[in-house]
Structures are given as C-alpha cells and as structure tokens.
Structure 1
Amino acid sequence: MSQAFAVLIHCSGPAKASPVKFVNMLRDSDIDSMNTDLSKLSRANEEHHDNVQTLLKKFKDLLDDYSSLKSDYEEDRNPFVLVLVDGDGYQFHERYIKAGSEGGINAARELNDSVRELMHATMGMQADQCRIMVRVYANILGLSKLLARAGLVGHEARALAPFTSAFNRAQDLFDFVDAAEKKEGSDFKIREMFRLFVDLNQCRHIYFAGCHDTGFVSMLAPYRGRSDRITLIKAASFHRDFEDLGLPIKELPAVFMSGPLVGTKSSPVHSINTKMAPAPPPMALRQFANTSKSLQGRSHPNLSGLLPLLWVGPEDFLFATLPPPSLKSEEFIPINKDGERLDTYCAHPSPDAFDAYHRRAKEAKVCNSYHLSGECGDMNCHYDHSDVSNTIIDVLRYICLQHPCPRGGSCRSIKCYMGHICQKPNCKAVKSWQCRFNLRAHSVDLQVAQWVAPIDQPEEDHRSSISAESFESNSPSTVFFS
C-alpha cells in the first residue's frame, strides 16, 4: 500500500473544477506503535497511583500507630478510678456530719483509704498507679433539712455546706456537687458521668454507690457481669434488683451509714445489726394456713381471694426490707409492683423516748399535723405548735404509723403521716387478728418497685386524735377489711 493516496473532491458547478486535496494517513505500524506507547504510559500512571496510595496508607498507619502510642502513654501516665455517689441516698456517717468542716476532711480521707483497699482487691498491682476521682451529687438544701431534723446539723438553709466544702478541699479529685432542688437532678448528673467514663480506657474502674434507686438498673444492665469495670457499693437501702446484674458488691462501713437515718442516738435502730442480712422473700414468712384456725367462724364476704401468704416477722426483717427515710422519701412515694403505697422503716422507740413523750404530752398535746407534715391548716388549732425535740417527733411518727390511713395503699399524699402497712414486729394478727390494719396491710409485697410523684389529696384531720396509749390497744372492734 502506498504511503498516501489522493482523495478527489468534486465541487458542483459546470465551468470550474475544485482543486484536488491530498491527506497523509498513518501506517498501521505507526498506529500499533502509538497504542503500545499509550498502554505503557497508562500502566506507568496506574503504578504511580498505586505507589501513591500505598505511600498514603503507610503514612496513615504511621499516624494511627503514633496516636495509639500516644493514647497508651497518656493512659499509663494518668489512669484513675471513678467513685460515683448518689448523696441523696447514701449518707456519710453521723460522726462526720456532726463534726462539720473537720468531719468533711475526715470523711474524704476515710473514703480515699477505703476505696484504695477495694482497688488492691479488684485491680491488683495496677491499683498503685491509679488516682481516685470522687463525684458525690446531692440536693444540698434538701439534704440539710433532712439532717437538721435528725439533729446532725443546724437549721440554717445550707447547714451541710461546711462539711461539703471541707470534703472538696481534702482531696484534689474529690467533689461534693450540689445538684440543686430539681427533681431527679442527682440522677441525671450521675447517668451522664457514668456514660462519659464507663468506656474510657483511662478510667480503669467505676465504684457505683447508687444502689438504692432501681432507676439505675437499666443504666448498668448493658455491663452485666463486667466485674473488671464496675463494682457496686452497698449501703443502708441496697435494692435486691442490683444483685441480678452479676457485678461484685462491696461495702464501705467506715464511710456510709449502714442503717436508716434516725433522729437521736437513743433510737433502738442502733441496737439492730447494721450489717443488713439478705431480706427474706416478701410475703413468705408465715403461711396463711397457720392463721386459718384463728379465722374460723369469722366469715366475711371480702375474705375470699385474699393473698395466701402473710409477712409477719421481727423488727430486723422490716429494717432489711422497707426503704429507710431519705431525701428521696421526702419528695416521692414508694410503691410496690402492684401500685400499693409502702412506708419507710420506722424503728420502735426506746422506753426512755416514750417517757420523754409522755412528759411532754402532760404539759401540752402536740399537733400531729404541724410536727409531722410541716403545716397545720386550722387557724384555731388548740394543740401545741412549739418546738419539740427530735425524740418526741420520732415517737409521734411511730405512733401515727400504727394507725391505718383510710386510703390504704392508694394514698399518694406526701403529707400523710398515717400507716399504710403494719410495721408492728411479730404482729398478733397472725394468731388472733387483733390489729387495726386489715389483712391486706399484712400481706402486701414490701419490695419497692418505683418512686412516684405525690398527688394532692384532701387531708384527714388527725391533729391529735392519736395518743401514745391508743396504739397499744388491739381491740377487735378496730379491725376493718377492704
């Protein structure tokens, strides 16, 4: 084939012909050569791209390794453990609270030493490398009022402030934080702190002191069985639902109260073993069959369908099962899984306390409503509103709880100071049914399922209709059935 050929282009027109144009065409060998060169260039470009990508990947891996090494270095340099405390439910020992500023310092030191011992048992050799961070959240104003009623602090608005300030100064990473008066304020802050640190490698372990509130069970549930990360701290009102999480449970008896907050040293609650034994199953101490003989011949249309089991036992059973008085019980009402109201535990006053009450009653009968609910709506009330000792208030509260509230388990008034369950140890109702409370008040499930907000309900007038002698009476005529 010739190197070029002519292309003749004819133009229209009769007289004049267009010039002939010649186009040079490439040979096949030239085209093949150029295709080969293009392929080589494409492969070279791909190899260059691959080399660049490989280099970039190596550089990224190098940065990741550096970041990991830096993170490991930071973790090894500043590891710590976190102690989360719900101060509304976990109260420090009375001796610390009463000592004010000095007590705050001593409480912080004792907490530091006690947690350090737990760390050695939990973490072994790593314990010496870790610092201790403590966060206590509480409603300082409300807690001050509660402690003032117990006679542990003064009656100033924030009487607990000297204790908390000294607690904060005692250790660099210790903070007693005021969660304000907002409902569930402490719970919210504790949840956020837990979520922030639980998966942080630098935080080697969390000691959780909030096991009085079942609302935290769902927060801890994803870490069920993670004993390497979480340890539960047990105190006065430990709820048994936390036992199902498979997490280790420890106590700090030198730091927190192991029993419910009471008004005075003379209260018999101190004679009870403060190491809480596991509570017996609710409604399972005595069979209803044991009482069937005593109920024979007492027909009543509402007896059918009653629960077959009664809980009746010694005082330490009630102490271990019922929730103790706390800041939470000042704002919310405990109910069981059936929606029935429960009462906080109230210890039987000592004989000396009753004597003091009788002496005071001879001077002037105190107003139940004013001293127990904080107000009296009767402008013409004839009963005494003057200050009385915490001993008198403890006896008065115990006496009123021995008288059933007309609303029973449906009561939702936060100001109600009457009884909603029978708290009489070894109540005679099991043998002769001589008790003011009905059968249901002896057989309700005593386990707290939740804390509910109170509801405004008309208050019954019990300003002084209850006397210290009346609660000892067990006349069958006072028995009623719902």
Structure 2
Amino acid sequence: MLGDAEIRALGGNLKSVSEDNQKHHQDLQKLLDQFQFFLESYNRLKSDYEEEKEGRERYKKLAKAQERNPFVLVLVDGDGYLFKEYLVKAGTQGGPKAAQILNESIKDLVHERLGSQADQCRIMVRIYANMLGLSKSLARVGLVGNEARSMSTFATAFTAAQDLFDYVDAGDKKEAADYKIREMFRLFADNNQCKHIFFAGCHDTGYLSLLTPYRGRADRITLIKAASFHPEFERLDFAVRELPAVFMSTQPSGSHIPPPPTIPSAPKVCTHYQKGICRYGTQCTKIHIMPGQQLSKKVDDMASSPISSYNRDFSHLKDFRSSVRDQDFYATTLPFMNIKCLNFIAVNKDGDRIDPYVPMPSRESWDTYVRRSKPRRPCNNYHLAGECETNNCEFDHSPVDSNSLNVMKNILRQHVCSKGASCRSLKCYLGHHCQKSGCKGIKPCKFGRYAHTLDIVVAQWDTPIERHASDDSPASEETANSNFSEDWKYPETSPIETHFEC
C-alpha cells in the first residue's frame, strides 16, 4: 500500500502532467491561429499579385498600341506664317513644292530632336488660316490674284501633295484659326503617339497662355521662328528653330513688288562682267553675257519695241542680263536629295552633272558641328561617301547628327571636283557647280564662270560609274578630308545670305 508521501507525489505529478498538457494545447492552438493568419495573408497577397499582373499586362498592351504609328505634329498659324513668295506666286505648282520643302526641313529637325527614334515617326502638318482674309492681304501685295479666296488653289495643292498634310480654311470669324490650333495642341500635347510638336504661331502672344503650362519641355515642344517672332516666346525655355527655306523671314508689303523698269536706248554689253569685276551685279544697266556669246534676237527686238511689249517681256531680259542666282533659285530648281539621287546622277540637257540642293545650315547647325569637331573632326569619306579605306584614319568615324552632316555637305560642295561636270561617281561629295547664293563667279570663288551659269534643270538620270567599276576614287586626295580651319567662325551675316566663303 502506498504511503501518504507517495500519494502526494503522484498527485503532484498528475497535476504537473495536466498543466503541461494544457500548456501544450494552448501552444498548439496558438500555432494553428498563426497558421490560419498566414494562410489568409497569403491568399490576399496572391489575389493582389494576380490583379497587379493583369493590370501590368493591360498596360503593356496599351503601351504597345500607343507606340504603334508614332508621329510628330507641325502646327502652323497660316495667318502669320507665310510661305516663301515664289512658292505662293506659283499657285498650284507652288503648293506641292512647299509641301516637299517643309517635309524635308521638318525631317532634319525631327532627327535633331528625336535622334534614332526619328526614322519611325511620320510627319503630320496642320495649317489653319482665314483663307478669305489671307487672300485679300496677299492680293494687295501682288502675290495672288484679286478673286475671293485666291489662296485656296495653293492650299488645295499643298494638301494633296502629302497624305498627312492639311492646309485648312478655318473660316472668316475672328480668331477662328487660333481656336483650331489651341484645340489641336491640347489634343496631342499629352498623347504618347505624338512624339514632338513643332509650333509655328509665335507671332501671336495669345498663344503664350497655351504654352506656359509646358514651359521648359524642350523634349516635347519646339518653336518655329519666322516673321514677327515675339520675344516673349523665348522666355518659355523651348528650343527655337528657323525654316528659312520654307517661311518668309519678313512680312510681305507693297515694297516687294518691283517697279516697272526703264527702257534702255540700246542694249550694251558689260565689259566689266566679262572680266569678272562688275560690282553692280543685278543692278547693272548693261547686259551680262560671256565673251563670244551673241545677243539673242529677242533682246534686240525688245530694245526697239513699244513700251508695253517691253514691260511684258522684261523678266526674260533680266534673267539674260544677270547670271547671279540666289538661294530661292537653287531651292526651286535643283533636285532634292531623295531615293533617285541616292542611286543615279542628275544630268542637264548638255550632259553636265547637277548636284542635289544643299540648304544653307542655320547658325545652330554650325555651332553644333563646331562642338562636334572639337575633339576630332568627322571623316568626310566615311560619312559622305559611305566608306573610308584609310588604315588608322585620323578622322572620326563615330555617328554624326543630321545638322552636322548638312554642314559637312555644305562645306564640301564648295570644293571643286577635279572631273567637273563630267563626274559620274555616286560617292563624290565635292561640288560640280556653285550653289552660293548671290555669287558672281569672281575670286575667291573656287568655281569657274561656267559653273555659275550652266543649266541646272534635270534632263535625265545617268547610271553612276560604281555600277561599272569599283576602283574609282570618291574624291580628290587634296580635299578628301579638308574641312575649315579650327579657328573658323560662323560669318556675322544673315543665314540666308551667308555661305562658306565663295
């Protein structure tokens, strides 16, 4: 029989086991509660993850859709931004040419602003104007006819020239064009498919309130400068660019219409011009012809004809008396760089080679090229001819922007090709005739007199020699990589009148 002490001990042990069992049960219940909490948290996180995953997939699809068909928008207030006079005067022929020049100019700006992304972007142009009021204004200065909406023929031809180009009559109400431009800007300012906006309306301070919320967004907006550019727009910290080949730099006025010419008693030949020293240029009262060239019967007839007949035909006499050509003449006559120019050689009716048009670079382009050339000048053969066979070439082969490339083309076109107008090398980037605006063919111009007067109208497209032989040099050794000197600076004259020293 158990004693009292043993019984007490067993009772204590039983109580201890009971307490341990109860504590174990409490710990197990606590563990089960924690497991349940973690399970519920896991389910919530899994649900959130699935929702986030679905949202991310939807965003990817939306972003992919928005990246499809990227474009840049060119917004133009046509009441203040007027195309070059010769384009407007040409009417139905001027509209397509204006669209072509604008398209090429904007392409260069797109490459400058967007870099490698530029090749995927299409160009959409929207021009809004009060067609009735604009036609009346231009008719007063003799650029269009006097009929109502005479500007519409130019606008219609412009619209038909490019799929995404529209020249729209906004109506006759006050600020109708402004309203259209504002709504178009708001529609596309935050559109992801619209990669950049080129805004041409900086003559009107009413647009300041529209642009101010986007102040400093140079990555998004570029201002186009033309006639009557208001200085307030410069404070918005946007990039400002000019399109000198597209828009007038000054407002048209009656002074643009040349007065009727006086009739010379008899046409006289300028001997100073034949010696290359006539300083009067287009203002010379004598006829500018080459030595040995005969006066045409038409000029002789005009000298003795009645005044009305002479006035009608004076434009022909003016062209005959002066071979000085300006930038507008080259822009409208020379072929633009396109697929055909990349594969064939443009030739006139006499078999002389014609170079593609090289627009005068802006001051900003010159500055960009100078900065780009500071460490090492770009290789002309590599960037302009497409290849460089020089081992360990001392010049730079790394990519150059479109502005610097245009400066290089401009510089090298002023070096005379040794083969002259007979050159048929597609890789030749030297000049085969002068493109300097207003050049009279005298020193220090490197081109001969003939290179200033030859016919630059394309008559046919010749096959380049590269398709017949592969050993022709792209350019003469003496100018293969000759750029301007390190201390050369942009000339202190207007971009329209300035060219590389000619």
Bucket of the pairwise TM-score, normalised by the shorter protein: 0.3 to 0.5
Max radius of gyration: which structure? 1
Q: TM-score, with normalisation over the residues of structure 2?
A: 0.43
Q: TM-score, with normalisation over the residues of structure 1?
A: 0.45
